[in-house]
Amino acid sequence: MSEILLFHHVQGLTKGLRALADALRADGHTVHTPDVFDGETYDSIEEGFAALESRGGPEAMMAMADELVATLPDELVYIGISLGVMPAQRLAQTRPGAEGAVLIAACVPTEAFGGAELGSEEPGPGWPAGVPVQVHGTERDPFFAGEGDIDAARDLVAATSDGELFIYPGDGHLFVDSSLPDHDAAATALVVERVRGLLARL
């Protein structure tokens, strides 16, 4: 069984994401769900970003992630949804011991993580050899497909021997969150099935 660190999207650790984590726990995995909003959730992406900025911006989520992993073993699987992809991908890419990563609704160019810092001018180390990665997104998501994340995902998968990119029909961004309007039950079921497949071979 795997130990998983799941980072929520900008609307918070919603009931839908808790349900996703519980589905993996039911398989016997340990799933940590850090919450940068201390239990608060938001009705829109805009409200979530405003709340995040009031708490220090994306850097606050990165700092929370670093504090948490300092108390956890190196051998983790990192899962991120949208905003949560930033800490998940950065840790999988730069922290030794990662067992795998699942990036949902976002993907950052690997060179963005110079050393360990997002936006550093120092070139990033690239994706670590032997660490499997899955990227999931919808084909018309205005963020994932419209802002270049899908291109970063294609580059990432092409640069590793154990990478998979899964594209689903539709335009939902937070499509794996059963508590939000973007939810796509069929696509979410496929995501969970594919994540279970990745975890089963670790």
Domains of the chain with bracketed CATH: 3-200 (3.40.50.1820)
CA pair distance 9, 11, nearest whole angstrom: 6
Q: What count of other Cβ atoms lies within 10 Å of the Cβ of residue 27?
A: 14
CB hemisphere CA count around 21 (13 angstroms): 23
> Interior CA angle at 56 toward 107 and 111, to 5°?
30
From first to last of the 202 residues of the chain, give the pLDDT tens digit.
Answer: 999 999 999 999 999 999 999 999 999 999 999 999 999 999 999 999 999 999 998 888 888 899 989 999 999 999 999 999 999 999 999 999 999 999 999 999 998 886 555 555 555 568 999 999 999 999 999 999 999 999 999 999 998 989 999 999 999 999 999 999 999 999 999 999 999 999 999 9
Is pTM beyond 0.85? Reply is: yes
Task: List residues bridging with 81 in a β-sheet.
Answer: 104
Conformational region of residue 156, where left means phi above 0, alpha means psi within -120 to 50, and beta covers everything else: alpha
